[in-house]
Chains A and B, each alone.
Chain A
């Protein structure tokens, strides 16, 4: 039980802290905007400085001019979009059987003439020894939440691979909820297996000329701000490891914009429907992506700044970039702030608390019918009904 009277003072403290932060953020935003204006027209110089820099944070590389803020292109009437999302029932040691379920939801929405909607979800149950345990340096260990989420990611991409050829409009795209940059995979023992299975879908999408698009709502990324920090740095060759300001104990010059992220800044730069220039991500995991390096831009959807990620080959086809720009805006408008296709894919994928209960009840009923005795752990039973 939550002790409300003890919690309340902490909530007040949090709100006060936020109030102070909001007062400060205006100052940071002003500094960042001034810096942004300064670098326009000096892109070449900046790109060179970024490439020569050695920073402790990720810095985006611009692939379009800074001044090229693009207005909303006309939204096509006829287009189709595939969106995929997944969710899972985690393995629970206190339940009647250790197993897990991954549910992949997908929708194909086709607009304009001969419009249609396909919506479905596919559950997969994992229960075999080799699906529950993995071999770590000779030890048998239970799979982690991270392993399961990688498995889910692969299944989401596989679903796109399966469905992508069904898109029948001349212009179409495949939506992923969140980033296309699987930075979480970096350093995992299965890194190369995971990335190579995902890249199959990237290859197929390129072959069919259908862009894979990652949509990030209210992104917390700060690749662009980091870029501005490089500009601010008075050192000619930026090297954070040998930063003289750090050693002398002075305030870092680049700290004057450090408290804000990219979407804070773009919310004052971009007007409704506009998009930022495109940038190339320098995330280390992309070294594994080969020709499918990920580029991104920010867009004002009218309700928020979202980050749109696309494979690099798409950036070379301006008509495709315009289509993605317009379609993402249209999707967000149709969904009243968040792309409708991603919302519906989520609705298809989501496994509610009731669904989870139903799953375990089905499992236990079928086991009992087959003469297998089942029991939940005492902990689980006691969680369901306390003793008075």
Chain B
């Protein structure tokens, strides 16, 4: 299994990773995992950015295609990195639990894409919906919708699953019907 990133900042609720390759990160709303201490921590990718590794050096526009730029200014591709932030949704230690792990993921741990079995585990515990809606990412509706769309592709009974998720969302957003409708609209598959 090849890692796709490495943790460069970490806390109880989320961690930030540097992608192994420039412009190659997991998708927004994608699931990743990290093996840290004696457990596997799972999370959802919610912010991806590519920027200069040195905050004092700002990239400038060249007006060249990527191919031309690689031929003429190869060094700039060494000086920029792609980063992604991951919201933690659960961990596995003798079985998956959709709650925050007792300890954050360790810095410099490798991050991997989740496999189908991981996603099936995650789909069974709907706590992640509340976790996302708690508002730590700033793009809660988009993220919930994206995660639901992704999970619906791996669950066995898709229609049945969508009803269960819909009911949970109604429970969580019973005081905010507009928000529920927004998410429902974005979940159209």
Q: Which of A's residues lie within 8 Å of B, judged by CB?
A: 77, 107, 109-113, 115-117, 119, 334, 340-341, 344, 347
Contacts and interface: CB of A to CB of B under 8 A. Distances in A.
B95 to A, nearest CB: 41
Contacts of A109: 74-75
Contacts of A344: 75
A245 B75 CA distance: 57
B71 interface: yes
26 contacts: A77-B71, A107-B75, A109-B74, A109-B75, A111-B71, A111-B72, A111-B74, A112-B71, A113-B71, A115-B70, A115-B71, A115-B72, A115-B74, A117-B74, A117-B75, A117-B77, A119-B75, A119-B78, A119-B79, A334-B72, A334-B73, A340-B73, A340-B75, A341-B75, A344-B75, A347-B54
A36 B72 CA distance: 38
Contacts of B73: 334, 340
The 3 A-B pairs with the shortest beta carbon distances in the complex, nearest first, are: A117-B75, A117-B74, A115-B74
Interface string B54-74: 100000000000000011111
Contacts of B79: 119
Q: Looking at chain B, what size class is its interface with the partner chain?
A: 10 to 19
A102 to B, nearest CB: 22
Nearest to B73: A334
Looking at B71, B73, B75, B79, the one whose CB has the most chain A CB atoms below 10 A away is: B75
Contacts of A334: 72-73
A219 B18 CA distance: 42
Contact of B74 (A77, A110, A347): A110
Interface in B41-96: 54, 70-75, 77-79
Given A115-B71, A119-B78, A119-B79, 6 more contacts: A111-B71, A111-B74, A117-B74, A340-B73, A340-B75, A347-B54
A77 B67 CA distance: 13
Contacts of B54: 347
B21 to A, nearest CB: 14
B22 to A, nearest CB: 12
A115 B77 CA distance: 11
A111 B72 CA distance: 6
Nearest to B75: A117
Contacts of B78: 117, 119
A344 B73 CA distance: 11
Contacts of A77: 71
Interface string B134-174: 00000000000000000000000000000000000000000
A331 to B, nearest CB: 11
Contacts of A347: 54
A77 B72 CA distance: 8
Contacts of B74: 109-111, 115-117
Nearest to A330: B72
Nearest to A113: B71
Contacts of B71: 77, 111-113, 115
Nearest to A115: B74
A108 B91 CA distance: 44
